[in-house]
Structure 1
Amino acid sequence: MAVTRPRLLAVPGRAMPLRRLQSGHVGDYVAWLLVGTSLLGAPALPGVLGN
């Protein structure tokens, strides 16, 4: 089923740019982890620093 990729499991056209960003290599997972951590941690930084 995964080899033929029936229409039910097909990726919609609007998701293709995201699909190109994530190729499945380990470096992609590390990069997305760092991006997510930075985006979630940046708003908390002033509270942590006490400014």
Structure 2
Amino acid sequence: MGEFAERLKGLASTRNELKQKSRSIPRDVCVAARKGIEEGEVTHKVDKEK
């Protein structure tokens, strides 16, 4: 394998390890957050229409 392929394989392995270790966000929390965003519960300067 070439140097690039080896590096890519290493990065993919690191990514997979991190994904395994990270906690997932419960679905109900995601749904509640999306609902709040869509209803305008929280707005930031970047969210405002120009």
TM-score of the superposition, structure 1-length normalised?
0.40
Which structure is larger by alpha-carbon Rg, 1 or 2? 2
What is the TM-score normalised by the length of structure 2? 0.40
